[in-house]
Homo-oligomer: A and B are copies of this chain.
């Protein structure tokens, strides 16, 4: 049967689009695991939606499981494969189809690298607000399939909020195309919502129309120290109300994170003294640099008068802004301090974050094998990242750490994944944030759209 499907694929698509054997082994399944050979029956390199459709018709006829590969930056094992799976890699479908500066839309193929899409928008003085660390490798299709978040969700929303139109190939090869540049559409069910965040398990994104925004004329930032989590929440409300729609970032760092990012081993100096319990990085995207700077100064002065902040500094120029952001974004620095690192992206109600995360830190530190806990994150979105440094990569320690981090979430209505998705690695914990009825309905949806369970089989849900 393997031979039969490969010859069918080669016949339909041409030999050059169907890699097998040694050509498969030269590839990899994750950008951090380039040294590990890819295990797959074949890798398909479509150049068009029609190719993807043709491939899926054949795979569907053969009951052949398929895994879609984008930029391979996923953090939950969604792109892992086994030797019997066919990989469809979107890398050749990498074109920016159109930037329309009046509609303020970007039409793009799914394999387009996020940074290239951002640059195409920037050439027309528009901003694709979707932005995260892996932008140089991640593809738009993958960002859509995982509903990627990032640093500016508080102003611009998750990927879901930026997708206006979508073209998807279904499990049986049906092409579902709705590449419209319109912003509002209540003509029956909004089908694209099904595919955004479905992690390649309901359909294959081939093209998209993304919403662009006017490039902000000014960018301002400040870094402040806070001594109590309740004051972080007060500061958030104060800054958000005061900036009146311009707040584009409100990022929290616990002292352990900030201190490590700016200690003597780091290349980054501390903009304000270390030793405070919390540090907040505030960013605004506005229309007038000077006026926005004055607003930021006034808001911080008010916060100081109210004793919500202990210390603070305002970026005086773009070098300062880059500096502040590196302290928040350059997580490689804390990773290098870990023998082995384990990452989390949990979601919690904002007022509960301080108490819950501090309890979690305490419990983790009591665990044998845990060396560091670095908490930070998009606190205005209720999304906290934890990097846990540990002495070994044993499954036992990993599971113990997972158990501690995930334990409080069910009772407080949190989520085991704010941004990264479920994939393979979090599947066992899905029932901590989704009810039996919810998981049953998800399975109903999966079975309706992919009755043969050939799209990313075994990921997200167990069918």
Q: Write the residues of chain A forming the contact surface with B, with a CB cutoff of 8 angstroms.
A: 100-105, 146-147, 149, 153, 155, 157-158, 160-161, 165, 170, 174-191, 193-194, 196-199, 202, 213-218, 233, 237, 240-246, 248, 285-288, 291-292, 295, 347-351, 378, 381-383, 413-422, 426, 430, 433-435, 437-439, 441-442, 444-445, 447-449, 460-461
Q: Which residues of B contact A420 (CB under 8 A)?
A: 186
Distance of A460 Cα from B191 Cα, bound (Å):
14
Contact of A244 among B101, B182, B286 (CB under 8 A): B286
Query: What is the bound-complex CA distance between A292 and B292, given in angstroms?
Result: 11
- Contact A347/B214 with A177-B435, A292-B244, A295-B287 known, Cβ cut-off 8 Å: no
- CB nearest neighbor in B for A434: B187
List, in ascending order, chain B residues with CB within 8 A of A165's CB: 413
A349 near B181 (CB under 8 angstroms)? Answer: yes
- Contact status B161-A104, CB under 8 Å: no
Once A216-B244, A237-B214, A240-B214 are accepted as A-B contacts, the answer to whether A442 and B182 lie under 8 Å apart by CB is no
Q: Are A191 and B442 in contact (CB under 8 A)?
A: yes
Q: Are B245 and A176 in contact (CB under 8 A)?
A: no
Beta-carbon contact of B433 and A444 below 8 Å: no
Q: How far is the CA of A202 from the CA of B102 in the complex (A)?
A: 36
A149 to B285, CA, bound (A): 25
A285 CB to nearest B CB, Å: 6
Question: Are B184 and A347 closer than 8 Å at their CB atoms?
Answer: yes
Query: In the docked arrangement, what's the CA distance between A202 and B191, Å?
Result: 13
Sample of 23 A–B contacts (CB below 8 Å): A103-B351, A105-B349, A149-B184, A155-B245, A176-B441, A178-B435, A179-B413, A180-B349, A182-B347, A182-B413, A183-B382, A183-B383, A184-B382, A185-B433, A186-B197, A186-B418, A189-B198, A191-B442, A244-B245, A244-B287, A441-B449, A447-B448, A448-B448
For A248, list chain B residues within 8 Å (CB): 245
- Is there an interface contact between A218 and B190, defined as CB atoms closer than 8 Å? no
Can you list the 3 inter-chain pairs with the closest CB atoms, starting with the nearest? A244-B287, A244-B286, A102-B351
Taking a contact as CB atoms closer than 8 A, the residue among B101, B184, B199 that contacts A383 in the complex is B184
Q: Which of A103, A146, A426 has the most CB of B within 10 A?
A: A103
Contacts of A441 in B (CB 8 A): 170, 174, 176, 191, 449
- The smallest beta-carbon distance between A111 and chain B, in angstroms, is 22
